[in-house]
């Protein structure tokens, strides 16, 4: 899966890095993962169909986490559940 800063997607690495830093600096996120709409949440047209979350761990370190969209994951989970049911 392509990353949004890949050069073949014509994204400027420095500009995206600045945008991420600005979003994190201005964000008010704590506790459970929250959707950060300013951190390039959807690059569907560029093949990066993920949501980006900022998560702070127990030590206070902030992490950027990207997760596939729920609609992409649900069919896989249903298939896995069917297999587990068949084996039970």
Give the pLDDT confidence score for residue 59 in this predicted structure: 73
Q: Which residues contact 36 (CB under 8 A, 6 or more apart)?
A: 23, 27, 29, 52, 53, 54
CA 88 to chain centre: 33
Confidence (pTM) = 0.27
CA 86/CA 81 separation, integer angstroms: 9
Which of helix, strand or coil describes residue 23?
Answer: helix
Instruction: Tell me the pLDDT tens digit for each residue of 47-76.
Output: 555 666 666 666 777 666 666 666 666 666
């Amino acid at each position: 899966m392509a990353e949004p800063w890949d050069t073949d997607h014509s994204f400027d690495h420095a500009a995206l890095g600045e945008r991420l830093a600005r979003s994190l600096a201005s964000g008010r996120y704590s506790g459970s993962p929250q959707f950060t709409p300013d951190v390039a949440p959807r690059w569907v047209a560029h093949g990066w169909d993920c949501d980006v979350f900022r998560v702070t761990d127990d030590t206070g370190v902030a992490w950027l986490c990207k997760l596939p969209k729920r609609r992409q994951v649900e069919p896989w989970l249903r298939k896995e559940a069917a297999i587990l049911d068949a084996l039970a």
